[in-house]
Amino acid sequence: MILVVGGASSGKSAFALQLAGEKARRAFIATAQPLDAEMDERIRRHRTLRGPSWETAEVPLKLAKWFRANETAYDSIVVDCVTLWLSNLRERRVPDSRVPGLVAKLIHAMRMTTARVLVVSNELGGGVVPMEPEARRFRDLAGRVNQQFAKEADEVYVVMTGLPIRLKPKERG
């Protein structure tokens, strides 16, 4: 599993798609939900950029179930993004205390697939401290979830201004 993190519009999704390569059977797992016109346009634009060679599945909540159902169906799978998945869980009133267990089940399901799995997530901890307590709790939860994925990932990259930096494993030399 490969984790790609970065800020908003940092180039992390494009980098993950590049890492996925030109495999024959590629899936893009979108966790975004088109809740308004702007998000609908963003989803459409991203789908156009991927092109027709990517099969897109919209999976806002049950990611582990999707992976279990598709263990051998793909060569490369990009999940974009964990942060929106967390937002979707919150919207469904899933308690924060349940999230680490859900993440562990998801990581296990990802490990069971034969595909190269790339996970995209937002790095929310690099900005100012949010004013609202709920926003601080979400930022902290997202940070803990990113750490959970990073610990289990074979490779971890951070993308800043379109430039990927490999964090794990460390470059030699």
Q: Residues with catalytic annotation?
A: 46
Q: In degrees rounded to 5, what are phi and psi of residue 45? A: -65, -45
Give the orientation angle of helix 99-112 with respect to helix 82-91, to 10 degrees: 140
Q: CA triplet 171, 29, 45: central angle to 5 degrees?
A: 95
- Give just the sign of the alpha carbon dihedral 105, 110, 111, 113: positive
- Angle between the N-to-C axes of helices 82-91 and 133-152, in degrees from 0 to 180, rounded to the nearest 10: 130
- Rounded CA-CA distance 7/9 in Å is 6
